[in-house]
Structure 1
């Protein structure tokens, strides 16, 4: 179960999402909680987030029982699923009210065992629920059995008055369940969740594959109108860099390169970051920027990330004769995109029905996204590079060196130094540093003839940055290096500090962002660079 033994210690940048989801517990107590769908790209960290949410609810004792259940493909029958679901629910409930997480880990319990534990825990309602379950199962009505067990969280509330937060991971796999009926095997049993997800005292938080959940809750049914949607994005640059360096420390790996910008390719995807660091530690104890690209190419052409994505492609495109057409199609989308699906058939020499079939599979797999009238590859630079490498390897049959050049030629070009004029300032990190920085910004803004309202907003954000982050735990002898730049009607305030232990809470970030267009935080080899960005009117730069 997802308590501390099952959650990663390296979990960054998800506090706001945890707070939002955990709020369901207090809302359930008031009978006003709504169910939620958690969506996001593959590898973005949905399961890890749900595990940490469960631990938070279990340990914080919010007076709402947390129940975590992962839908398992091993349970293809209603009876096997129902038996596992009721056992898991009762066991976790008893562990919660006894404040004994070890109960979850000590073994597999029969329903009779659970009755005995419940009796010792002063939970007589458990025996009633188990007896009812046994009777429903004996009646042989699988629809009734399925409906009964998925409603158990609400039934427990009716008996005890204590709400339940139901966390269901890999929910898309519920479609594997089937019942033999007059029409053959009925795979729509999951639709019986319509009522349980509406119960205000037992809200459900549902995770799974984005495309499949969209189809289930919005295209095939209208259940989605009763649900809140939370889209889990990638980690921001600061947290992605923090995760990268924490993993390097875990594996005693020294990184000699400034990989902050390079990490942007990973899109804040924790799976990619972890896979890359694991690949790096198998190579050496330290790596440079040149080593970064060698490891990267190896990882997307034969490593764990490569294995992960090719396994997904194989599982969805099971007909071997369609795999090369699928790869041709994917490469075409990488290079050209398309607004006209009908033109792909002639361009790729693939039957239109095969293209329609492949696009459906790739959409379900989460590789192709479809809008209302257009389609495109998912926004994932790693996947795009992987597809290109696979195409050059298996379709074009190019040698290894050509494949490497095709994937990293442009990326490896040296970065040209910016020649834009800038105002540089070095100030001691003292209590008066904030005042000096704000006054300096005021003078620079006057020089650039910046509108007073824009300058004032930048000053407010700069004050929030100093008061909320930089003035915490100042060390003697420290300096701040400030740079003010106007480029293409964007005004940049860069603050470079030798500290790498800065803490940016969600509240502080919200305050800083309130009056500017962006804030960037980059972990450097010997410190941190923070950049505030404000967009100005178009005629400011040209007027200088």
Structure 2
């Protein structure tokens, strides 16, 4: 996004950097800018993780709306980070609102940075605005000397609603990241902000830490139908590299590609930490061209620079007394020790840590171990200095040496993640597709396609008749998230996928896939394959996974001995080439069929009973004739459709008593899907490996299976598709000359 594409001259008003220097968030910026222009636009919540950064994004949105010179009047307000009351913050909001309103009306960007009184603002008001602003100031003076702080807060926050319709509509953007709950029992600013803005007819945007902002919003507003949400995660590595380069250039700090990439990983692309670090480098006239220079400056910042002040301020906010903070250091370092705090003080500490995502606290249980690498380093240094009483020189020296030893490993993990095949994303795309079985059997694949060209491999896979039906994967997580014993594995290279195999969500169809990408320069040998099989099997036994499917991926595949081991253990083994082919096929299956137009797809619904299956048979006959099927094939298709409809009518116990048909005519085949709501017939469940109910006699099951057996003899392909409620039978007939 740039100024030219937006069709107006771009002037910097509140933005700290020009649009061409603003990194990432282009889609989010466009969404914020377009939000107030939407019909009946209401609230927009920007939920960010603690290190994501949002202030400059809102300032860029403000500049864009200011320069549009339309009916939307942007108002940006950042809650103060220092210790202030809710009342003083609300009054400051009122002053900021009037200042920015007049700057917009007068088209004077510099006015936004001015420091003026309410009397001065009244003098600056254009003639068309003077009367209502004068009334606003008089009303404020009356409210200010009242005794109701909550009423004053709501009045100040509601001031933008008093803009006359002819003058435009305000779009309030609040940077509520430093939002803190009052410690003295006063009004909750967060709740008042959500309450006032939520009840207004004006569009607004509120940005804040996701846990804190959602908690405040849910406490006030139960109806979220009119609320849009943008979730701001950490910047990508690519955007992080661009950010480091541009901030370094702006701060005139030299760095190398190696140190640039290290800072991206060490600070997790955090705009705040990257900017603060570069500012510190400029102040010290430091050149960041080596790991040593970076880690020396990093430790300086941990011990007494911006990073230290940032976390110290956070701790002071949650625990003002030094003794309490020392107790916190002790607990963080050894969580098993108990805090001796009052209940209300303890709750405040836990709530703040939860909001900052250092811990996860649900009011009764605590899950520790969160927080960024920077936080953990800060915590360790404070613990050693304040509790262990280690000499400062020793702490500095050992922190530098530990950071230097960690730096190559940090980059190595990054490179491994970048080179990983993305197992989590791949497994998450499994949704009952049928793929060539050789893609999961390296020995078979190698024997069939060794030395073949990509075109020959593609043609061969297309011609394979033995297919593997993938499960429907419903949840994917790293192995490390299940067991600390798997922490040595990169999260992207060893995953657990819970899935269902077949058409039904039952115990018998549940399966857990354990997939791992293993390192091996040559074909993985039997010993390496056995080690990983044992490791994954141990994980499955530990957590009670019933039916499992182990899948190992090695870059160059597996030796014949390793392949034999995998076969004995009914495990899958694939090379990176097979994974690339599988990924391509899954992408093709999820993409819309370009050769099939809407004119070749038909849908109809008929009531069950009254021989209505004959209506369906007549319809499919006409479609088959258009495709030039031979008379014998047409009769087979009609017979199969009638049998499918009768099965649906007799066995589904459908609540709506309807049968849904979908026909798709391709150049070489006719695909028919017959579906209905209700229960799954016992014959279908039995074919999926489940035991039939004891009340079902063998004779009943056999009679119910006749229709399906007949259909299979009449059609070329017959399979049940997954349906949450009822059954969906897919039948395919190929056109043969």
For the aligned pair, the TM-score class normalised by the smaller chain equals 0.5 to 0.7
Residue 108 (1) aligns with residue 106 (2):
no
CA distance in 2 between counterparts of 1:359 and 1:75 reads 21
Partner SS state of residue 235, structure 1: coil
Q: What is aligned with 2:161?
A: 154
Q: Which position in structure 2 is the counterpart of 1:532?
A: none
Q: Are 1:26 and 1:62, in contact at CA under 8 Å, matched by a contact in 2?
A: no
> Is the counterpart of residue 228 in structure 1 residue 219 in structure 2?
no
Does the aligned pair in 2 maintain the 1:177–1:187 contact within 8 Å? Answer: no
Q: Alpha-carbon deviation of 1:270?
A: 1.0
* Runs of 5+ unmatched residues, structure 2: 1-10, 420-451, 464-515, 520-570, 579-737
> Which residue pairs with 1:4 in the alignment?
13
- Deviation for aligned residue 1:274: 1.8
Q: Across the two proteins, how many residue pairs are aligned to each other?
A: 416
Contact 2:53 2:272 in 1 (8 A): yes
1:322-337 aligned at under 5 Å gives the runs 322-332=324-334
Q: 240-249 vs 282-291, which deviates more? A: 282-291
SS in 2 for 1:97: helix
* Distance in 2 between residues matched to 1:543 and 1:24, nearest whole Å: 45
Counterparts of 1:132 and 1:443 in 2: how far apart (Å)? 81
Contact 1:367–1:377, Cα closer than 8 Å, also in 2: yes
Preserved CA contact (<8 Å) 1:217 1:224: no
- Report the Cα offset of residue 65 of structure 1: 0.8
Between Structure 1 and Structure 2, whose CA radius of gyration is higher?
2
Distance 1:133-1:446 versus aligned 2 partners, 3 A rule: farther
Higher mean C-alpha deviation, range 10-19 or range 348-357: 348-357
> Partners of 2:102 and 2:277 in 1: how far apart?
40
Q: SS at 1:52's partner residue?
A: helix
Instruction: Report the CA distance between 1:7 and its aligned residue.
Output: 1.7
Match of 1:13 in 2: 24
Aligned 1:63-102 pairs, distance under 5 A:
63-72=71-80, 76=85, 78=87, 83-102=91-110
3-state SS of 1:95 partner: helix
Shift in alpha-carbon separation, 1:448–1:34, aligned structure 2, 3 A: same
The 8 Å contact of residues 393 and 403 in structure 1, kept in 2 or not, is answered as no
- For each residue in 1:12-32, what CA deviation from the matched residue of structure 2 results, as whole angstroms up to 9, or x when unmatched? 1121111111122202xx3x1
- Is 1:298 aligned with 2:306? no
Query: Which deviates more from structure 2 when the two are superposed, residues 299-308 or residues 67-76?
Result: 67-76
Contact 2:177–2:207 (CA under 8 A) maintained in structure 1? yes
C-alpha deviation, 1:273, in angstroms? 1.2
Given the two structures, how large is their TM-score scaled by the length of structure 2?
A: 0.49
Compared with structure 1, are the counterparts of its residues 155 and 406 closer, same or farther at alpha carbon in structure 2 (3 Å cutoff)? same
Q: CA offsets per residue over residues 389-435 of structure 1, 9 Å max, x none?
A: 333444445533444444443434595999xx9xxxxxxxxxxxxxx
Taking the aligned partners of 2:276 and 2:142, their CA distance within structure 1 comes to 49
| Cα offset, 1:108, TM superposition | 0.6
Q: Counterpart of 2:361? A: 370
Alignment of 1:83-232 (within 5 A): 83-111=91-119, 113-121=120-128, 124-137=131-144, 142-157=149-164, 159-160=165-166, 162-170=168-176, 173=179, 175-176=181-182, 186-188=186-188, 191-193=191-193, 195-199=195-199, 201-218=201-218, 220-222=219-221, 225=224, 227-232=227-232
Give distance in 2, aligned partners of 1:449 and 1:260.
45
Cα distance, 1:194 vs. partner? 5.1
Partner of 1:470: none
- Aligned position for 2:575: 541
1:267 aligns with 2:249: no
User: Is the Cα–Cα contact under 8 Å of residues 66 and 164 in structure 1 kept in the other structure?
Assistant: yes
Query: Match for 2:36 among 25, 36, 40?
Result: 25
| Structure showing greater relative contact order (alpha-carbon pairs closer than 8 Å, 6 or more residues apart) | 1
Deviation at 1:444, TM superposition (A): 5.4
Per the alignment, residue 473 of structure 1 pairs with none
CA drift of 1:34 comes to: 2.2
Output the CA distance in 2 between the equivalents of 1:199 and 1:394. 48
TM-score by length of 1: 0.64
Is the aligned partner of 1:390 residue 2:390?
no
Instruction: Tell me: CA distance 1:227–1:408, structure 2 relative to 1, closer, same or farther (3 Å).
Output: farther
Gaps of 5+ in 1: 179-184, 333-343, 422-441, 454-486, 491-536
Q: 1:121 to 1:319 in 2, by over 3 A?
A: same
Task: Say whether 1:411 aligns with 2:422.
Answer: no
Q: 1:25 to 1:385 in 2, by over 3 A?
A: same
1:15–1:368 distance in 2 versus 1, CA, 3 Å: same
- Mapped to 2, the partners of 1:241 and 1:543 lie a distance apart of 30
Partners of 1:444 and 1:85 in 2: how far apart?
64
